[in-house]
Structure formats: structure tokens, C-alpha cells
A = this chain, B = another copy of it.
Amino acid sequence: MAVNPPVLNPPLPVPGFKVGTASCGVKSPALKGKRQDVTLIVGDVDCHAAGVFTSNRFRAACVRWGEKTLTTHAEKIRAIVANAGNANAGLGEMENVWARQLIESGASAAGVDADCVLSSSTGVIGTPFPIDRVREGMHEAATSLTADNWEASAHAIRTTDTFAKWSSAQIDIDGNTYTLTGICKGSGMIHPNMATMLGFVATDAPIAASDLAPMLKRVANRSFNCISVDGDTSTNDTLYLLSSGIGLGHTPLADTSLFEQALTELCIELAQLIVRDGEGVSKFVTIEVNGAASEADARTVGRAVAISPLVKTAFAGSDANWGRILSAVGNSGIAIDTNKITLSADDVLMFEKGNLHPDYRDADGMEVFRKPEFTITLDLGMGSASSTVWTGDLTHDYITINAEYRT
């Protein structure tokens, strides 16, 4: 049911990293050997690292541990350990114990210090964490550590994802070629603020942790925080960025802007893959908001349109219901002047400065809305800032998937 999932080029190995996976039946012992569900990303050297976490006030233990680890060891990260099938969330005091045990099992398997390990868990909330099976899995994953295992790793972090998601890029800076490879997962509950999403990006570009942290926040705001499937956000969402470059002996980049641009593009690609695989999504819609007073305003308006159930069901029904889009803009909370708003779908001008455009014909709008991919462009007429948000439609399949998730 994914919308035009692209055929992805194989992910590129990143100097300084090895990856391993295993199948240990995290969700149920019956699944052992059936699908990869634990992964280990190990740095050969101390990596500089940054993280962006869920905005949900219920934060799973892995998020709390990760945040803490980054405050003290952001320049010495040696591994990320992750599992799919159990979120280790909503479990009270045991959550902390299991999260630490997960970290220790990964550290022991990889032969690194547990204080230098980040972890992520994704899956069902509230089911006791099967630490024994996961511990075994981690040790098995360590036996498969190689530089070119990123694709397996992308598979191993999936939950309801129907395809594995990764992207790689290379950039030349000052005569050196650096690689970025990222994997991610997420399909339901995808919404601004890192909803049930895991993303891990590794690079050998030499960037200090003190630069990585603010950069990753900016990049997340223009990529993962600009997608929406159903407006919900989860307890475990995490984006980690690891850089091996300084550990490998490279001189830190004086100007990180080229790298940031490449990272932004990579993260947008990853984020769009998540929308294409959104639960029950049958359309991929780009919401472009221009003429806003600020980028934040533009993003708020784009998100308001992207999460409106009435807009999303109109997408699903191929109904060019511009009234619902304008109503969603009006609900965004942003100061707007309804007489300044202009709205198009692809190249069809629907609504111009407060009025339905005289040449607009419903049939033309419908033709756009029937496409599997199209762009809604809004001009607010309030300034010159822009933002783009990517979203899907709200379909019967979404209901089926989510009403029957645990049954």
C-alpha cells in the first residue's frame, strides 16, 4: 500500500562503522529466525554524536538514557543498539532496568564501554521487555558486524513498515570525500516532533559534537519534523547522528554548511520514505506554504493542513475540497488575513486572495486530487518565509491497521 516506494540504491559503507543484525524474536519467540529485529551499529573509534528526541512527556527509558549519555559522552560514543518489536515503554521502574540491560548487552557484545552506548527500542508499549532473548540477539548481531551491513540494519529496525528505508550520499569538502548513510523506520504515529520514528545517520565527516547538536536540531526541523501521518507522536522517537571523522584523525571542518545541506537533503529523503510508507497511505501530498511571516508560522500552517482529518479524508476520496484546506489554515492558530490567501493544487489555481478563482473548475481540481502525488501550494500573503510539509491521506486501511494492531 506504500505510495511509489522508490527503488533505493544500496547504502554506502561509512568509514569507521560496522553494522550487525540478528533475529531473536523480540516480539514473540515464534518470530526468532523469521525477521531481523536487533541491530548493533559500532564505531571503530570514539564518535562525536548528537540526538533529537520525542516531544512526548512520556519518554521511554531509552530516550532518557540517551539524553543523559549525550550530556556526558557526546564525544565518545561507540555504538547504537536497537531493537524492534517491544518499545520498553509504559513499564514503570522495570523500564529503566531493562533499558540499561539492553545497553549493557550491546556494549558487552561489541566490546565497548556501556557508558558510550546509545539505545533505541520500538514496538508495542506496555509489554514486559524480553531482555534474555535480546541479550542473545545482541551477541549474535556482534558476530555479523561488517561495514556493508546497513541494508540489513534498516530491515532490523522495522515494525509496521512495509519496506526498509535508507539513504546514502557523498560530498566533497576541501578535497576530501565524506560519506553519509542513514536508516530510519516509522509508519504510523508519524508527526512533527519525532513521532514513533527512529533514524540513525552515520558519517565520517569530521564535525565536533558541539556543532552536531544544534545542526541536527535545525535539520530535524526541516525534515523529520515536517512529515505527518496521523498527528500522533510517540514515546520513543529518536534521531541520532554519529560522526567518526575526528576519531579517524581528520581535522574538524571549519565550515560545516555544505555538510549541513547534504545532511538536510538526506534526512528529507528519509522522512519522505516514511510518509510514502505511512499506515494506510495511498497518496503522497506535499504542502508548500509560502508568504508566511516566519518559517515557524509556515510550518505551523503546513502541519495544520497535514494533520486535519477532513483534509486527509478529502485526499483519500480524491475530492478537491479546498474549503477544508482553508478551514485547516484558519485552525492553525497563526494570524492570517483571509483576504490575502492564495491556494493551488499543482498548477491549478483554486483560490486567490480571499476569492474562489473565476476560472477554477472543480473538474480541474479533481484531476489533480486523483493523482497519487501532488502539491498543495498556499501563499499567506503575510511575508516571505516558507516551509514544506509532506503528508499522506487518511484511508480505510489506516483504520484497519490501527484498530486491529494488537489483535
**Which residues from chain A sit less than 8 Å from chain B, CB to CB?**
55-59, 87, 89-93, 124-126, 188-189, 230-235, 308-310, 313-314, 316-317, 319, 321-324, 326-332, 334-336, 338, 351, 354-356, 394-396, 398-400, 402-407
Contacts and interface: CB of A to CB of B under 8 A. Distances in A.
B403 A331 contact: no
A125 B356 CA distance: 11
Nearest to A323: B125
B319 A405 contact: yes
15 contacts: A57-B329, A57-B332, A57-B334, A92-B356, A125-B321, A126-B322, A126-B323, A126-B356, A233-B331, A310-B402, A313-B399, A314-B402, A316-B399, A317-B404, A321-B405
A403 B314 contact: yes
Most buried by B among A125, A189, A355, A399: A399
A330 B193 CA distance: 12
A125 B399 contact: no
A354 B57 contact: no
B90 A232 contact: no
Contacts of A396: 396, 399-400
Contacts of A57: 329-332, 334-336, 338
Contacts of A316: 399, 403
A95 to B, nearest CB: 9
